[in-house]
Amino acid sequence: MTHVFVAPHPDDVALSCGGLIGSLRELGQNVAILTVFSGAGGVTDLSSYQREALGFGSKALWPDTQAFNRANLSADYPIDEGGEHAPPWAATSDRLDATQADADAAAKRFWQRSSWYRRASIHNEPLAGQILADDTPTQGAVLTTELTEAERARDAMAIRRLEDERFAYFAESSVVFLDLPDAVFRGYEGDAQLLGVPREDDRAPVEILRQEIARLEPQKIYFPLAIGGHVDHRLARDVGLEMLREPRAWVMPGPDWSGIVTFYEDFPYAWWESFRRLADLGDDAVGPLPADVSIAPEFADVTDQVEWKISGITLYASQLDRLFGGRKPMADTVRSYGRAVAGLGGLPGYAERYWASIRL
């Protein structure tokens, strides 16, 4: 039995449910994250709007032919073999040869107790068939290699999936990527569209999500409430509502998804919008609930997990500036939000609030 958290995007579950995930893991419960819109949908190049909206700012990443490889640094002065026009501090080639001879002698002294010794080339050239560190792909900053490889594939979503995988590792959870294209790859542009009602032809991914969820045999499923109204969050929420609406469409004897389907409050949208009551969502969220199903608030005390939650969110480095303006303001906002939610339930410390479905 598993607790399945449905994330519209990589990072949503860590942001909204990190505290609960931490306490479930402490109790030894299984946690699986289903990240729905984690793909680029065949787009091979990013527009500057797409880049901004995905949290990567307007600065292009360096291709790895330029990043962190000293061989790509060009000399400030042209190499002057004759030494006639060299600046006074530049060594001539016979002085360099002398330096290399000194280095060889020093290496021999250092390694004198062994039957062999290592030489180092002051010209950064291979000696005796040894590979140069700069030519070894696993040397240097691994993260940079991954980032630039993602960029080479023109796939900024790869970076976000990577962050999600790190979080899953951190939270000892599993993560499944459905890789449906993010709204910015489905033609939504600008806040009015991105935070608006889904287009008529843009349907909630009910079948694919329902299939994955059923496969995991969940004890609880957590869907976003879509506070803030992001198109992708609405579509993910609508899958939850659809599951509550069609209990009999399932293979007999078919589980009753009420009591299993739960909704979470989308952070940081809930904080930005000072969300307090379901009525704050307007008719939008509660309206489509089936007539015989109701949802009621449940508070998860996350006082012992709030710092762990902050550490988890830190793993989403590509998003911190866009959402919070950095790591420190993120940590402050997570704490303030946790305290405010606890206050809504009359609790001390920090809390997250969930909305559990009940069949009437």
Q: How far is the CB of 230 from Zn ion (least distance, A)?
A: 6
Q: How far is the CB of 179 from Zn ion (least distance, A)?
A: 15
Whichever of 12 and 301 has its CB closer to Zn ion, that residue is: 12
Q: How far is the CB of 128 from Zn ion (least distance, A)?
A: 54
Contact range with Zn ion by CB under 5 A, out of 8-16, 66-74, 120-128, 268-276: 8-16
**Could you say whether residue 12 binds Zn ion (CB under 5 A)?**
yes
Residues with Cβ within 8 Å of residue 152, at least 6 apart in sequence: 63, 64
**Could you say whether residue 237 binds Zn ion (CB under 5 A)?**
no
Contact range with Zn ion by CB under 5 A, out of 7-15, 22-30, 102-110, 201-209: 7-15
Contact range with Zn ion by CB under 5 A, out of 6-14, 18-26, 204-212, 296-304: 6-14
Whichever of 184 and 293 has its CB closer to Zn ion, that residue is: 184
Furthest-apart CA pair in the chain: how many Å?
A: 94
CA gap 341, 336 in Å, rounded: 9
**Could you say whether residue 164 binds Zn ion (CB under 5 A)?**
no
Q: How far is the CB of 335 from Zn ion (least distance, A)?
A: 21
Distances (CA, A) of 287 to 24, 234, 238, 295: 31, 13, 11, 12
Contact range with Zn ion by CB under 5 A, out of 3-11, 88-96, 201-209, 213-221: 3-11
- Count other Cβ atoms within 10 Å, centred on residue 338: 25
The alpha carbon torsion through 187, 190, 196, 199 (nearest 10 deg) reads -20
Residues with Cβ within 8 Å of residue 262, at least 6 apart in sequence: 220, 221, 222, 223, 298, 354, 355, 356, 357
* Of positions 3, 8, 38, 300, contacts Zn ion by CB under 5 A: 8
- Count other Cβ atoms within 10 Å, centred on residue 296: 10
* Of positions 3, 4, 9, 337, contacts Zn ion by CB under 5 A: 9
- Indicate the residue whose CB is closest to Zn ion: 9
Continuous H helices in 195-230: 206-215
Residues with Cβ within 8 Å of residue 41, at least 6 apart in sequence: 180, 181, 182, 185, 186
Residues with Cβ within 8 Å of residue 292, at least 6 apart in sequence: 359, 360
Contact range with Zn ion by CB under 5 A, out of 2-10, 107-115, 293-301, 346-354: 2-10
Q: How far is the CB of 203 from Zn ion (least distance, A)?
A: 18
Token digits of residue 246: 């069609």
Q: How far is the CB of 322 from Zn ion (least distance, A)?
A: 11
Contact range with Zn ion by CB under 5 A, out of 9-17, 97-105, 109-117, 208-216: 9-17
10 Å CB burial of residue 112 (0-12, 13-18, 19+) is exposed
Q: How far is the CB of 259 from Zn ion (least distance, A)?
A: 26
Whichever of 271 and 301 has its CB closer to Zn ion, that residue is: 271
Question: Where does this chain bind Zn ion (CB under 5 A)?
Answer: 8-9, 12
